[in-house]
Amino acid sequence: MTDKELYQFAYDFLRTFANVNDEILNRHLESEHIKPRDLKIVYYRLCESAQNKQMSSKVIGGSMNGLENLGKVLFDFDPTKVAQVFKKSDRDRLLDAIIKELKPSGQIRRATRSIWPQYCQSIIDAAHFLCSFKDVDDFYKWTDFFSEDNRAKPALPLLISYEISGIGFPLACDFLKELGFCDYGKPDVHLKEIFKALNLVDQNEKSTTKLDFQTLKVIDRIAKANDTTSYAVDKVFWLIGSGDFYLSNLKIGRQKREFIEKIKEHYPQHRTKLKNK
């Protein structure tokens, strides 16, 4: 089975479900985002990605009636002003400001490893990181240096994950993908489990970082073989894993196991290690 056959098989598998037609499916495979021309929007997207850690969006954005309200404390998401007011060690002071100004619902734990303190550290780090660029063009000049070279491409999310506490390699990939970089997919748990089952990545790899890296390379390889974007490849397998056609309010349930069984039914086990053709 080739990479081209795998992608087509995955696409066709999703089409077998009631109400899933080409229009709905292709709508999910095309990026909704165009690279923003304002560093404030880039900062907002980083704040958005940071709250996606371990499904923290309900605790963070959900507790204040939407993440956009955080702009009241973050100077309308101006990273320069945030960095001027909050030092990297000021996460407790930022959390105090959020509580006072926004009065988020629910219990707010202040233990070091709790969601709110970690999130405050992430958004302070993100502000200081973006302040290293003079404007949005400077930011894209830096990102494009990596993203346009396949050999350097994985280094970009890795560097972002080093710069910003709480944003690991997968979330950094997700940030880039949702920012408008269609040649980045996210090494999501759904994709990693599917790729493991099909012997596309090392089933015995213990290093999370290495497994994420392998998954990103497989996404890129499948995209190249099918003359499509890494974004589209990411979405096809994510839709199989999650079953959530979120743009159409359609849910088919998680189909990861069924998909893997179908693959093995049509392609014998010894041939499930795909070839790059």
Q: Please, what are the averages of pLDDT over each run of 10 residues along the chain (277 residues)? A: 95 96 96 92 94 74 89 97 97 96 88 89 97 96 92 94 94 93 93 94 90 95 96 97 94 96 79 52
Please report where in the chains the tokens 């959020």 appear, as a residue.
98
User: What is the spatial distance between Cα 50 and Cα 220, in angstroms, rounded to a whole number?
Assistant: 24
What local confidence, expressed as pLDDT, does residue 269 receive?
56
What local confidence, expressed as pLDDT, does residue 80 receive?
97
CATH topology of domain 39-179: Endonuclease III; domain 1 (1.10.340)
Q: According to the 3-state scheme, what is the secondary structure of 26-81?
A: HHHHCCCCCCCCCHHHHHHHHHHHHCCHHHCCCCCHHHHCCHHHHHHCCCCCCHHH
What local confidence, expressed as pLDDT, does residue 215 receive?
96
Categorise residue 185: left if φ over 0, alpha if ψ from -120 to 50, beta otherwise: beta
Nearest-5° Cα angle at 200, 195 to 206 = 80
> 166 near 121, Cβ under 8 Å?
yes
pLDDT, tens digit, for every residue of 101-129? 999 988 888 887 888 999 999 999 999 99
> 34 near 180, Cβ under 8 Å?
yes
Token digits of residue 92 = 């407790």
Q: Is 90 exposed, middle or buried (0-12, 13-18, 19+ CB in 10 A)?
A: middle
Q: According to the 3-state scheme, what is the secondary structure of 91-132?
A: HHHHHHHHHHHHCCCCCCCCCCCCHHHHHHHHHHHHHHHHCC
What local confidence, expressed as pLDDT, does residue 65 receive?
86
pLDDT, tens digit, for every residue of 177-189? 989 999 999 999 9
What local confidence, expressed as pLDDT, does residue 47 receive?
94
Name the strand (E) or helix (H) holding 245: strand 244-245
DSSP state letter for 250: E
What local confidence, expressed as pLDDT, does residue 270 receive?
40
